[in-house]
């Protein structure tokens, strides 16, 4: 009897302790940051990496105490990631869903075609009462096609400027290899990013005195490249620049090997400086030079790469941008005193937009990142080349 009584009292005590502790737990606030991008379809790996990077960064921030909100309270960051299937309609639908919640910012998308359409539904000019567009800040981590943030004052990007990268790379090639005079291009014609970047590559090659002797075109899901590579072989250019994603880049490189096309220099698309290219055709890609805004060369970048791997992703120039964005958002939340409460949603969105627009410089994994008036990033970059099955740093333009 006595033992039963003691157990009863102990149970009551435990319940009371739980009841006291519960309000304290409820007071610990959580701010949800929603990311979105392709988590299905052939670009699924981009979504996986972005989500892992955002979660890894959130964990780092939370370990350091979380984020301080406008009322002085501390909050932990939580990440939710939605799938837009790299489809413009689904991207718009996903963002409308996010915007109908308490979210005050969204991070994404993966694909430039989604970003282009999506930024189009945002209010063009802040304060324009005649524009019924969505008043919701979005900051892109992956969508790389040039100039997309110009579309709306609510759209921001933390992606590298491919114009600056290829301008620098072509200049470097010219100075380091003055004997190389001609260049032949290959482009994945039906992919917005590849196509736009090829325009940049070609323009910068010409601007640096290289003669463009031909261009081969193919489609994203083409299976044979023999005709294009034969044309490439006939052109016999010193440099071959390929603006395509890993699947067709590897297809073309393998066909080049079969036909014995050996340019003196091989240049690739930024997005191909990833593990997919090496998984598909490490041997054929040997020596390929690509400018990238991420490589684990600084202590911060090394740490980020390890953290992202822990969440099942891979750190590359795209996911590294997502990682950086989380720290940018933390800073803006604190600077703008964002409340993150259900009754301050639109106010918080306005503050977030103002905070992001006011940024002149942010901290990146490779160093300081400049911000432009049209809401784009000027990111430090370096050149990597494929060597022995991995990407190694070839040159740091700033050094």
Q: With binding defined as CB under 8 A, does residue 230 bind another protein?
A: yes
Q: With binding defined as CB under 8 A, does residue 325 bind another protein?
A: no
Distance of CA 336 to the CA centre of its chain: 24
Nearer to another protein, 123 or 284 (CB): 284
Contacts (Cβ under 8 Å, ≥6 apart) of 62: 76, 77
Ranges within 85-114 binding another protein (CB under 8 A): none
Which pair of tokens denotes residue 256?
A: 């080049």
Contact 105, 137 (CB under 8 A): yes
Q: With binding defined as CB under 8 A, does residue 317 bind another protein?
A: no
- Phi/psi for 310 (5° steps) reads -60, -30
Contact 239, 267 (CB under 8 A): yes
Q: How far apart are CA 254 and CA 226, in angstroms?
A: 10
Question: Whole-number minimum distance, CB 251 to another protein, in Å?
Answer: 6
Q: With binding defined as CB under 8 A, does residue 315 bind another protein?
A: no
Question: Whole-number minimum distance, CB 288 to another protein, in Å?
Answer: 16
Q: With binding defined as CB under 8 A, does residue 288 bind another protein?
A: no
- Phi/psi for 81 (5° steps) reads -130, 125
Q: With binding defined as CB under 8 A, does residue 189 bind another protein?
A: yes
- Phi/psi for 392 (5° steps) reads -120, 150
Q: How far apart are CA 53 and CA 105, in angstroms?
A: 17
Nearer to another protein, 257 or 334 (CB): 257
Q: With binding defined as CB under 8 A, does residue 366 bind another protein?
A: no
Q: How far apart are CA 283 and CA 322, in angstroms?
A: 30
Choosing from 213, 220, 378, 393, the residue that interacts with another protein (CB under 8 A) is 220
Choosing from 109, 251, 268, 380, the residue that interacts with another protein (CB under 8 A) is 251
Nearest-Å Rg of the Cα atoms of the chain is: 24
- The number of residues making up the chain comes to 399
Nearer to another protein, 143 or 151 (CB): 143
Choosing from 10, 15, 219, 358, the residue that interacts with another protein (CB under 8 A) is 219
Ranges within 29-58 binding another protein (CB under 8 A): 40-45, 48
Contact 48, 313 (CB under 8 A): yes
Choosing from 120, 146, 203, 280, the residue that interacts with another protein (CB under 8 A) is 280
Residue ranges that bind another protein, judged by CB under 8 A: 40-45, 48, 189, 217-224, 226-228, 230-231, 234, 246-247, 250-251, 254, 258-259, 275-276, 279-281
């Amino acid at each position: 009897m006595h033992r039963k009584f003691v157990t009863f009292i102990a149970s009551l005590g435990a319940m009371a302790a739980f009841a006291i502790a519960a309000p304290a737990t409820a007071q610990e606030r959580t701010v949800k940051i929603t990311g979105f991008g392709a988590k299905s379809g052939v670009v699924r790996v981009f979504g996986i990496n972005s989500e892992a990077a955002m979660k890894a960064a959130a964990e780092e921030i939370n370990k350091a105490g979380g984020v301080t909100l406008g009322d002085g309270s501390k909050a932990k960051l939580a990440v939710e990631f939605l799938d837009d299937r790299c489809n413009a309609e689904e991207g718009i639908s996903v963002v409308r869903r996010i915007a109908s919640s308490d979210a005050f910012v969204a991070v994404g998308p993966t694909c430039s075609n989604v970003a282009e359409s999506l930024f189009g539904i945002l209010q063009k000019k802040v304060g324009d009462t005649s524009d019924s567009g969505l008043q919701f800040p979005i900051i892109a981590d992956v969508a790389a096609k040039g100039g997309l943030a110009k579309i709306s004052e609510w759209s921001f990007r933390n992606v590298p400027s491919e114009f600056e990268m290829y301008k620098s790379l072509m200049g470097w090639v010219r100075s380091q290899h003055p004997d190389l005079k001609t260049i032949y291009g290959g482009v994945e014609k039906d992919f917005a990013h590849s196509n736009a970047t090829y325009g940049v590559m070609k323009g910068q090659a010409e601007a640096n005195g290289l003669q463009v002797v031909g261009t081969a075109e193919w489609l994203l899901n083409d299976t044979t490249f023999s005709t294009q590579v034969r044309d490439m072989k006939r052109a016999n250019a010193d440099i071959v620049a390929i603006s395509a994603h890993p699947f067709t880049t590897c297809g073309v490189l393998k066909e080049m090997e079969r036909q014995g096309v050996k340019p003196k220099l091989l240049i690739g698309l930024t997005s191909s400086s990833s593990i997919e290219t090496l998984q598909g055709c490490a041997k054929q890609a040997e020596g390929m030079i690509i400018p990238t805004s991420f490589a684990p060369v600084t202590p911060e970048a090394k740490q980020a790469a390890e953290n992202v791997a822990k969440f099942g992703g891979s750190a590359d120039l795209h996911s590294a941008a997502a990682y950086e964005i989380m720290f940018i958002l933390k800073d803006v939340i604190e600077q703008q005193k964002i409340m993150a409460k259900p009754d301050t949603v639109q106010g918080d969105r306005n503050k977030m937009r103002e905070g992001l627009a006011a940024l002149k410089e942010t901290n990146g994994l490779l160093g300081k990142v400049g911000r432009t008036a049209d809401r784009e990033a000027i990111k430090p970059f370096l050149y990597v080349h494929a060597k022995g099955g991995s990407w190694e740093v070839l040159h740091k333009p700033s050094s």
